[in-house]
Chain A
């Protein structure tokens, strides 16, 4: 049997659209000596040109978004609903309203420029301001003259369609934790600087002429240190207290112990001797600790790791009641109501198809690109997208009770695991705390027989000098730096705890569709007899009449360009198409389509033996002779096989696919073991599989993409979601990886292991410092000056060591 490979039309012309940079078709539109790929791009250009906004094109080349996909006319009808818009607006006084949109399409300075010049296009828009990092645009407009819907439609028209989701409506007021940290660091820095200045006479042993001046200095220092203890240090005490109450010694316990010892000893010195004691060490410690916190808190504001189903669902649905269509907010949708879902809309709840022809694209849920046909009376799960004509559905379950949303919801509670009780530093701190307490007590016992005063000093100074600030800082600085390096390589990790988990992983579980294969990109392969050019033309002419995605794929895959007239065209939904061209009868369809006419086939029976029809295969017959079949094949990511081969050496690898077994032989070969490759896995089955592995004490890293992986991703120790466009859809996960960077996965895993080694090395450094300090402390000889030098020095050297080594190794691994 011969094999004909039909590749998608190769790009022959290299003329790109002035507006969007897409390659123009041969019938491109010319205007003002510029070329546009479509009418839409030209119109946008004309508007910008008319309003004198062509700087847009000067700042960057072809900055626009292609207009080839047309906007649906009534898409934003729901924005006319006053109650809903009220929830979306940030502020409104009846005349002027302010609203903030999330616009993922923003990508360059031209975008910023145009979006901030909206007022030039529409004079009722007063001001618009971009936050590029968060991809947000806040617009204030005269709401009595222009409606929110018009604003959104204007944005959509110029190519910046805002993403408005159900979640926006139920806005959660997110307290900005970052701001609070900045306050604390500012305050600590202020205290640290001033206390150091005031301690200078002590450092230099300048003979202060009058004793009262020294006392005044000390009191000022005391006043300055109060906010540092109570405001800046509060979270350490709270965390330590929480840990102890749960009978767990976390890193904040020895830290708090050190802080309290430092502050208490110094306060005692101030009020008894009028000398500032160790206050400068105390302030420095607070400052460096908080600085470490800022470093580790680097977050990717624009990415949302904890999305729930709400961010993907529309905010309103069209309900049909007594023959009238009405748009209502999704939250008010009730069981039993009849909803209308139009072309391209998402099905918000599990429902039964009531009227119309369902052609559901579940790519959003499963990553599977071929749409599924549904007939009246069939159940449709939420999350699918209708393609084609509108359908009517009867809602079976609440939005939050639907099959997929429920699966997702189970995990929302789990994701908020207490932060402070995991991590390397925390697991070590138990031994550390007991060790220093033991040393302190021993020193006290030794000295108490000789001198009670020295005994107390020794006891407290041991606590001070052993304060594991360097220990507490090595993790945030090392992993914070790693996080940043990964971010530069399009691998966005939620937080540093995920990195620690990543280093412990011993098993990798892969999803197939959309993870190993490219989502939305497929190859059409024809197997069977070799088709002549005339025959190809016949097929192309026939499929042109059908809107089915498969037909369209076949259409683009056939290179012949001439088209013939089709007569007696019939399309049977979900089965196939047929027609007559120049007296020849051509049929394309699934097996069932041919089964209807099996008697006529007669001589051609070779394809009868093919088991289980697969929806991604269609047969072709010309004049009732079966010529072969078109098969849609997933395209594997370029280096997917390489990555699997590499990771397999070190990690136990499994594949869970929601798909059928068509590609079994290839995958079994790739994974080298038939028992590690699983097909037809439901979302729940994937989740249970992960649970089963975890019961065997395996630490799992899962890579997935669709909503169907959401449960499994959340359950696994580290869930990475892969996405071609990181701003688009990703299920809740611990990290988001740009699909292009999949080839770097082994490097990422390797680098996390290196990072952990760096942390251990820096622990050693900090312990060395501790030994030096302890040597003096147990003898009761630790002077405030010595401590003021030793403590910042140990902090700084740990910081410098960790950042330098991580950067060095990143460069060696080619990550920087």
Chain B
């Protein structure tokens, strides 16, 4: 029986952890803008690296 009590305690802690994570995500504004991040992640810094390469070449 005591095993089950420990298990319940443990499962509650895990579930509680997820709950806290969710509340934190809401609080920190991750649910405020659900669109922009999906676009933002598609931008790459290709240009910047090419620029760096260019400047490196000219420097050397």
Contact = CB atoms under 8 A, between A and B. Distances in A.
Interface residues of B, number: 28
Interface string A52-82: 1111000100000000000000000000000
B50 to A, nearest CB: 8
A431 interface: no
A131 interface: yes
A217 B32 CA distance: 37
Contacts of B48: 52
Given A54-B47, A109-B42, A132-B39, A182 B19 contact: no
A103 to B, nearest CB: 13
Interface string A213-225: 1001100100000
Given A52-B47, A55-B47, A132-B39, A186 B22 contact: yes
A220 B12 CA distance: 10
A179 B35 CA distance: 17
B57 interface: no
B31 to A, nearest CB: 6
Given A55-B46, A132-B33, A134-B33, A179 B26 contact: yes
A130 B36 contact: yes
B19 A112 contact: no
Interface in B1-60: 1, 4-5, 8, 11-12, 15-16, 18-19, 22-23, 26-27, 31-36, 39-40, 42-43, 46-48, 51
A216 B3 CA distance: 13
B33 A112 contact: no
Nearest to B50: A52
Interface string A188-200: 0010011001100
A771 interface: no
Contacts, number: 69
A213 B40 contact: no
A201 B38 CA distance: 43
A387 to B, nearest CB: 37
Contact of B1 (A179, A194, A210): A210
Contacts of B1: 209-210, 212-213
A484 to B, nearest CB: 14
A182 B26 contact: yes
Contacts of B26: 179, 182-183, 186
A197 B14 CA distance: 14
Nearest to B18: A190
Contacts of B15: 190, 193-194
A671 interface: no
Contact of A109 (B4, B22, B39): B39
A295 interface: no
A26 B26 CA distance: 54
Contact of B39 (A112, A183, A193): A112
A209 B2 CA distance: 12
A52 B36 contact: no
A59 B15 CA distance: 42
Contacts of B16: 190
Contacts of A183: 23, 26
Main DSSP-derived SS at the B contact region: helix
A178 B34 CA distance: 13
Contacts of A209: 1
Contacts of A179: 26-27, 31
Contacts of B36: 112, 130-133
A684 B47 CA distance: 58
Contacts of A176: 32
Contact of A190 (B5, B19, B27, B47): B19
Interface residues of A, number: 33
Nearest to A217: B8
B12 A186 contact: no
Contacts of A724: none
A815 interface: no
A220 B8 contact: yes
A133 B35 contact: yes
Nearest to B33: A131
B5 to A, nearest CB: 6
Contacts of B34: 133
Contacts of A198: 8
Interface string A542-575: 0000000000000000000000000000000000
Contacts of B32: 131, 176
A55 B47 CA distance: 7
Contacts of B31: 178-179, 182
B8 A116 contact: no
Contacts of B27: 179
Nearest to A109: B39
A130 to B, nearest CB: 5
Nearest to A131: B33
A498 to B, nearest CB: 24
A131 B29 CA distance: 11
A186 B22 CA distance: 7
A52 to B, nearest CB: 5
A179 B33 CA distance: 12
Nearest to B4: A213
B43 A113 contact: yes
Contacts of B35: 132-133
A187 interface: yes
A331 B22 CA distance: 43
Contacts of B11: 194, 197
Contacts of A212: 1
Interface in A108-122: 109, 112-113, 116
A216 B5 contact: yes
Contacts of A59: 43
Nearest to A210: B1
B5 A187 contact: no
Contacts of A220: 8, 12
A547 to B, nearest CB: 43
Interface in A98-114: 109, 112-113
Contacts of B43: 55, 59, 109, 112-113, 116
Contacts of A216: 5, 8
B19 A187 contact: yes
A182 B23 CA distance: 8
B6 to A, nearest CB: 12
A131 B33 CA distance: 6
A217 B36 CA distance: 44
B58 to A, nearest CB: 14
Interface in A34-59: 52-55, 59
A186 B23 contact: yes
Q: Which of B27, B32, B36 has the most CB of A within 10 A?
A: B36
A130 B33 CA distance: 9
10 contacts: A52-B48, A54-B47, A55-B43, A112-B39, A133-B33, A179-B31, A190-B16, A194-B12, A213-B1, A220-B8
Interface of A: 52-55, 59, 109, 112-113, 116, 130-134, 176, 178-179, 182-183, 186-187, 190, 193-194, 197-198, 209-210, 212-213, 216-217, 220
Given A197-B11, A216-B8, A220-B12, 17 more contacts: A52-B51, A53-B47, A55-B47, A109-B43, A112-B39, A112-B43, A131-B33, A132-B35, A133-B34, A186-B26, A190-B15, A194-B15, A212-B1, A213-B1, A213-B4, A216-B5, A220-B8
Which 3 A-B pairs give the minimum distances between C-beta atoms? A132-B36, A131-B33, A182-B26
